[in-house]
């Protein structure tokens, strides 16, 4: 049962609160990447664990931030294999990642920092889905 | 003639040598009655083969000049080869010094005797010479040097005188017997003649016929008795005549026997004296030596001893005739006795055999005795002359320091004339010099016989200093050959040992030992070779084991030994070479790794060690070095090993990540580079 005398004041207050929350939510979404961030919700890869065994990472999507370490090779029908130096609990670890031909317009250079979204292949190799230069 | 003389002398010497080998039976033949002091009762046997060990010689020997040697049955034989002569000669060389004065004195007596018993003086003075020479002979017989030889001659002369005295007395008896025989014959003829008073038969009176018969019977009986007495006298006469001849012959034979005995005993001086006396005493001074017949007769008697007949013929036939001849009645009685044995068998076979041997020996000796006294004398004189010449030659050789020739000549002189003054009075100092020489020669010969060439060489060197006529020049060159041939066999044995051919090695060592058993190099060399061979065998075994274990490090350390051991086995040698090559490469790896470690690059060292071990997985040094390096770069090693592990688990992505991590730690890592490249290719290919 709501009290009328206090009804107008309570309504404003409520409205303000709701607006505030919405603003905060939107801000938060924006802060977190906004409604347009594809990395949102993607787990960061545990590079140390990957180095121990890559197979558990089959089929999963991961992200990491790393610096291009070296070009490991290119295959026409497959893509380019790049290693990224990634920080981990055990220090810097190089993660190999395949940049498929579909992303051929991307040409990372050594020393460049990227945010990478990868998916694990059936043999555990990380295949790059998205690259954002940092 | 000279050859015959040489043979005779040689035979004499050999007879004396073999005297001890005579079958030890006395001949048993009694010396002739009266000839007591004469030669040996047993004459020695003729030996079979001189000093030859080959045995009985066959055929006629072919003597060379003098006493240098005789070829008998194709073999050369020297007088000095006989061992008994050699041992007597050794005793001679070592006998104490004799009294030269005594020898000289005796020699003077002997020469005096021979001088006075000159053949023409004997001819002119005859038995009167005995009065002159007998005192000298007596003096010589009493001399201490005589040894009974002149005494024998003296006694023989005495026996001859006795026999002649006995003959004289018997001559007297013979005369008496002849007279008696004549008397008896006269008596018999008278008795046989019819007497005037003899009873004559009357045809009318039977009693007168009976008396006549009685008288005739009596007459016949008397004649028979007279006949018997006559026969007895004749027998006595014959026996007495025979005994004279027999005694004279016996004395002569006894002297001959003594001469021959001295001849056989090489007392040639006394042969000369005795033959001179023989010439003086008997008219056949240069005549036949009848001793041979006597010896053969004695031998035949010996042969009959102890044998008996199985059948006998002792027939006695008597025939008697009586009649009337121109001189009256006569009576002849003839008795014939047969006394023959047949079917002779031996009663004591062994004794008969012994006597048979003695008989044979005597017959052989008889064949050696010269036929005449002249020959005996001549041979004796020749022996004396030859001996004196030899002794002079010895002195000459010694003066020129030719001891070998001096030794041989003296030995030959001794063999012939050991009793002669020239040999007996040979100076002791020279004899001692030759004795020392002989000992050295014996030593050298002993060394040669036992093939101890070292000993022989030493002895020969000593001889070379002692004498200028080295008797071993031939042996020395032979020794040179022996040492060379032995060395050749040893070399072949060594070569076989290096090849591992034990059979050939043993055979060559055996040949070397046969030729020169005392070779000082032989024992040492054979020990070394055997050792080497054993080492070689052992070496091969060790090498095979080590190759099996792949312990190339130890093989490398002992490569010299193993190379020597396997040199004759190509397959093993090839394996060894491969092992050494492998180890060489491993050592190169090791050197590089150690260098990297020294330079502070454990990563590189570890990688090199890894590579080295992949090529040489058995090499423990590389493993150790790898371990040392890994201690210094554990993270890197961990990454690589994990990467390899991920690869093996078919986790290429993880492996790639790990190689990348390793490369991060050691950017020059070839292992990481290769791993990354291969994994990248693999991952890109999917």
Domain hosting residue B396, numbered range: 390-471
Confidence (pTM): 0.47
Any idea which fold A43-133 has? OB fold (Dihydrolipoamide Acetyltransferase, E2P) (2.40.50)
Chain A environment of B680 (Cβ under 8 Å):
72-73, 81, 96
Of residues B338 and B645, which shows the higher confidence score?
Answer: B645
Chain A environment of B642 (Cβ under 8 Å):
51-52
Tell me how close the Cα of B603 comes to any Cα of chain A, in angstroms: 19
| B467 occurs within a structural domain | yes
* Per-residue confidence band for B420, with pLDDT thresholds at 50, 70 and 90: confident
C-alpha torsion sign, points B649, B652, B656, B657: negative
Using CA atoms, how far apart are residues B128 and B404, in angstroms rounded to an integer? 51
Tell me how close the Cα of A111 comes to any Cα of chain B, in angstroms: 14
| B152 occurs within a structural domain | no
- The mean pLDDT of A77-97, rounded to a whole number, is 89
Residue B282 has pLDDT above 60, yes or no: yes
Chain A environment of B661 (Cβ under 8 Å):
51, 93-94
- Minimum mean pLDDT among B144-153, B274-283, B305-314, B452-461: which range? B305-314
Of residues B621 and B342, which shows the higher confidence score?
Answer: B621
Chain A environment of B657 (Cβ under 8 Å):
47, 50-51, 54, 93-96
Q: What pLDDT does A26 receive?
A: 67
* Per-residue confidence band for B54, with pLDDT thresholds at 50, 70 and 90: very low
Which of B429, B447, B471 terminates a domain? The answer is B471
Q: What pLDDT does B58 receive?
A: 45
Chain A environment of B678 (Cβ under 8 Å):
none
A69 and chain B in contact, CB less than 8 A: yes
CB pairs under 8 A between A and B: 80
Q: Which residue has tokens 């020279």?
A: B430
Give how many domains chain B has, as a whole number.
Answer: 2
Of B148, B110, B134, give the one whose Cα is nearest residue B269. B110
pLDDT tens digit string along B571-586?
999 999 999 999 999 9
- Does the distance separating the beta carbons of A50 and B652 come in below 8 Å? no
Segment of A32-36, A100-104, B395-399 carrying the highest mean pLDDT: B395-399
Q: What pLDDT does B499 receive?
A: 74
Chain A environment of B677 (Cβ under 8 Å):
73
Which of B448, B471, B494 terminates a domain? The answer is B471
Tell me how close the Cα of A79 comes to any Cα of chain B, in angstroms: 7
| B619 occurs within a structural domain | no
Of B651, B676, B680, the CB nearest to A124: B651
- Does the distance separating the beta carbons of A93 and B657 come in below 8 Å? yes
| B655 occurs within a structural domain | yes
Instruction: State percent of chain A over pLDDT 90.
Output: 37
pLDDT tens digit string along B607-639?
999 999 999 998 999 999 999 999 999 999 999
- Does the distance separating the beta carbons of B654 and A124 come in below 8 Å? yes
| B396 occurs within a structural domain | yes
Of residues B35 and A124, which shows the higher confidence score?
Answer: A124
pLDDT tens digit string along B8-35?
555 555 555 554 444 333 344 433 333 3
Sheet strands side by side (includes B62-63): B62-63, B70-72, B75-77
Instruction: State percent of chain B over pLDDT 90.
Output: 28
pLDDT tens digit string along B146-192?
888 888 888 888 888 887 788 788 888 889 999 999 999 999 998 88
Distance of CA A133 to the CA centre of its chain: 12
Which of B436, B471, B506 terminates a domain? The answer is B471
* Per-residue confidence band for B682, with pLDDT thresholds at 50, 70 and 90: very high
Q: Where are the domains of chain A?
A: 1-37, 43-133
Residue B268 has pLDDT above 80, yes or no: yes
Q: In whole numbers, what is the pLDDT of chain B averaged over residues?
A: 79
| B408 occurs within a structural domain | yes
Of A51, A53, A72, the CB nearest to B661: A51
| B493 occurs within a structural domain | no
- The mean pLDDT of B447-453, rounded to a whole number, is 82
Q: What pLDDT does B489 receive?
A: 92
A31 and chain B in contact, CB less than 8 A: no
Q: What pLDDT does B80 receive?
A: 56
List the single best residue of B635, B644, B658, B661 to mutate versus A (max A Cβ within 10 A). Answer: B661
- Own/partner pairs for B174-180, CB < 8 Å, 24+ apart? B174/B237, B174/B240, B174/B241, B174/B244, B177/B233, B177/B236, B177/B237, B177/B240, B178/B237, B180/B233
- Does the distance separating the beta carbons of A54 and B654 come in below 8 Å? yes
């Amino acid at each position: 049962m709501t009290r009328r005398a206090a009804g107008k004041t309570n309504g404003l207050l409520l409205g303000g609160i709701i607006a505030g929350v919405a603003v905060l939510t939107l801000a938060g979404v924006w802060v977190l990447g906004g409604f347009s961030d594809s990395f949102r919700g993607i787990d960061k890869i545990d590079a140390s664990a990957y180095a121990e065994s890559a197979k558990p990472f089959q089929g999963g999507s991961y992200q990491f931030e790393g610096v291009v370490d070296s070009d490991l090779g290119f295959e026409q029908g497959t893509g380019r294999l790049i290693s990224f130096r990634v920080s981990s609990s055990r220090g810097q670890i190089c993660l190999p990642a395949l940049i498929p031909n579909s992303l051929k317009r991307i040409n990372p250079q050594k020393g460049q920092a990227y945010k990478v979204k990868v998916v694990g292949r059936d043999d555990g190799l990380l295949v790059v889905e998205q690259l954002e230069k940092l | 003639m000279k050859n015959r003389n040489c043979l005779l002398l040689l035979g004499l010497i050999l007879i004396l040598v073999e005297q001890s080998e005579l079958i030890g039976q006395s001949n048993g033949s009694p010396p002739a009655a009266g000839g007591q002091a004469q030669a040996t009762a047993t004459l020695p046997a003729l030996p079979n083969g001189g000093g030859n060990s080959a045995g009985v010689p066959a055929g006629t020997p072919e003597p060379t000049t003098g006493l240098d040697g005789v070829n008998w049955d194709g073999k050369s034989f020297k007088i000095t080869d006989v061992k008994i002569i050699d041992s007597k000669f050794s005793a001679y060389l070592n006998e104490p010094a004799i009294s030269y004065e005594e020898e000289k004195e005796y020699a003077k007596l002997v020469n005096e005797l021979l001088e006075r018993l000159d053949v023409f003086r004997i001819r002119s003075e005859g038995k009167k010479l005995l009065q002159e020479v007998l005192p000298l002979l007596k003096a010589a017989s009493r001399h201490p040097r005589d040894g009974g030889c002149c005494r024998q001659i003296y006694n023989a002369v005495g026996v001859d005188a006795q026999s002649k005295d006995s003959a004289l007395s018997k001559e007297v008896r013979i005369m008496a017997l002849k007279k008696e025989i004549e008397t008896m014959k006269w008596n018999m003829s008278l008795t046989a003649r019819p007497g005037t008073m003899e009873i004559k038969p009357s045809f009318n009176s039977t009693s007168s016929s009976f008396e006549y018969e009685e008288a005739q019977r009596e007459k016949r009986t008397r004649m028979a008795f007279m006949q018997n007495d006559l026969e007895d006298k004749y027998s006595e006469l014959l026996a007495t005549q025979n005994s004279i001849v027999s005694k004279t012959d016996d004395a002569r034979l006894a002297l001959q026997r003594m001469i021959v005995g001295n001849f056989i005993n090489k007392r040639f001086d006394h042969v000369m004296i005795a033959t001179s006396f023989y010439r003086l005493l008997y008219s056949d001074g240069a005549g036949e030596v009848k001793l041979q017949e006597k010896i053969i007769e004695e031998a035949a008697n010996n042969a009959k001893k102890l044998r008996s007949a199985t059948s006998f013929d002792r027939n006695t036939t008597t025939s008697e005739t009586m009649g009337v001849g121109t001189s009256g009645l006569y009576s002849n009685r003839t008795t014939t006795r047969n006394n023959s044995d047949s079917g002779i068998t031996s009663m004591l076979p062994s004794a008969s055999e012994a006597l048979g041997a003695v008989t044979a020996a005597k017959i052989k000796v008889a064949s050696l005795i010269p036929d005449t006294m002249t020959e005996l004398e001549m041979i004796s004189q020749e022996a004396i002359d030859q001996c004196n010449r030899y002794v002079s030659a010895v002195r000459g050789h010694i003066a020129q320091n030719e001891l070998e020739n001096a030794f041989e000549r003296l030995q030959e002189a001794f063999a012939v004339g050991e009793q002669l003054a020239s040999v007996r009075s040979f100076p002791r100092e020279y004899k001692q010099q030759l004795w020392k020489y002989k000992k050295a020669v014996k030593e050298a010969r002993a060394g040669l016989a036992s093939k101890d060439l070292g000993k022989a060489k030493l002895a020969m060197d000593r001889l070379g200093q002692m004498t200028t006529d080295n008797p071993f020049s031939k042996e020395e060159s032979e020794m040179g050959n022996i040492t060379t041939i032995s060395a050749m066999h040893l070399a072949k044995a060594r070569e076989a040992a290096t090849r591992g051919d034990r059979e050939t090695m043993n055979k060559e060592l055996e040949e070397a030992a046969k030729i020169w058993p005392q070779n000082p190099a032989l024992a040492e060399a054979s020990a070394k070779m055997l050792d080497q061979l054993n080492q070689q065998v052992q070496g091969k075994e060790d090498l095979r084991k080590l190759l099996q274990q792949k312990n190339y490090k130890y093989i490398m350390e002992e490569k010299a030994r193993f190379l020597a051991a396997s040199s004759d086995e190509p397959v093993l040698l090839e394996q060894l070479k491969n092992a050494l090559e492998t180890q060489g490469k491993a050592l190169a790896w090791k050197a590089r790794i150690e260098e990297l470690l020294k330079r502070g690059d454990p990563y590189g060292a570890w990688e090199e060690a890894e590579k080295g071990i992949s090529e040489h997985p058995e090499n423990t040094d590389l493993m150790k070095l790898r371990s040392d390096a890994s201690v210094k770069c554990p993270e890197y090693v961990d990454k690589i090993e994990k990467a390899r592990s991920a690869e093996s688990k078919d986790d290429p992505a993880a492996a790639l990540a790990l190689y990348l991590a390793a490369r991060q730690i050691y950017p020059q890592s070839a292992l990481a580079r290769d791993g990354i490249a291969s994994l990248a290719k693999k991952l890109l290919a999917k």
